[in-house]
Amino acid sequence: KNIAIFASGSGSNFQAIVDAVQARLLNANISLLVCDQPGAYVIERARAANIPSYIFRAKDYPSKEDFENEIALLLKNRNVEWIVLAGYMRLIGPTLLKQYEGRIINIHPSLLPDFPGKDAIGQAIAARAQWSGVTIHYVDEGMDTGPIIAQERTRLEEDETRESLQRKIQAIEHKLYPSILQMLLTIGDVKHDEKTGAY
């Protein structure tokens, strides 16, 4: 299956997926990287892995619809079947949601519905949470609100810091995302029931 990875930042999850494909743990073709930040380190990673990257800056387009139409066209031309968000710091709008219904997934560094949005790790530390972790979920129009596919938790120690929690969460993410992706791509397209909203 052809997948596109969307990322805005360092791309350690992008790298984990690339490595899993190379190690034949994940049977997928990473067609391309979509990035909205010209200086992001993930672009270097894509270059090193020989994966084409496409940079779309939202401010170059008059509307979100135009911005997403351009991306949607590229994905269609490249026969992309799944969109994998990996630290993509932008909400997906109706244009892409419609074209890829039930085939867009995201990874988030908390046990949703706890700590959605930005800086989930800092939020967990500030709340003195006992547990946090990682969630992989289908993407809908909300912020980190779509149906949950998988979660893995980790315990916060008394002296847990943002840095130590980030390390633990990243270690989970880099294993969990490739394995869940492999499962999803293997079972095929998940159908969305219009009436019940279930996947």
User: Considering Cα of 34, then 68, then 151, then 115, what sign does the dihedral take?
Assistant: positive
Quick one: which segment of 9-17, 47-55, 123-131, 152-160 binds ligand GRF (CB under 6 A)? 9-17
Q: What x-and-dash track marks residues 164-193 binding ligand GRF by CB under 6 A?
A: ---------x--------------------
- Minimum distance between the CB of residue 67 and ligand GRF, rounded to whole angstroms? 20
The CB-nearest residue to ligand GRF is: 87
Catalytic residue selected from 108, 137, 174, 192: 108
Q: Decide if 66 contacts 110 (C-beta within 8 A).
A: no
**Cα(89)–Cα(7) distance, integer angstroms:** 7
Structure-token pair, residue 67: 């911005």
Using the rule CB under 6 A, is 45 a contact of ligand GRF?
A: no
Q: What is the 3-state secondary structure (H, E, C) of 109-148?
A: CCCCCCCCCCCHHHHHHHCCCCEEEEEEEECCCCCCCCCE
> Does residue 69 have a known ligand-binding role?
no
**Does 9 contact ligand GRF by CB under 6 A?**
yes
- For the segment 87-116, give every residue that binds ligand GRF (CB under 6 A): 87, 107-109
Residue 116: both structure tokens together = 């959605």
Does 64 appear as a known binding residue?
Answer: yes
**List 86, 105, 111, 172, residue binding ligand GRF (CB under 6 A):** 86
> Does residue 10 bind ligand GRF (CB under 6 A)?
yes
Cα 33 from chain centroid? 12
Neighbours of 31 (CB within 10 A): 19
Q: Give yes or no: 108 in active site.
A: yes
| Helix-strand-coil split of the chain, %, nearest 5 | 40, 20, 40
Give the chain's end-to-end CA distance (angstroms, integer): 20
Nearest residue (CB) to ligand GRF, 104 versus 107: 107
**Interface of this chain with ligand GRF, residues 130 to 159, rule: CB under 6 A:** none
| Binding residue positions | 11-13, 64, 89-92, 106
Question: Where do contacts with ligand GRF occur on this chain (CB under 6 A)?
Answer: 7, 9-14, 86-87, 107-109, 173
Active site residues: 108
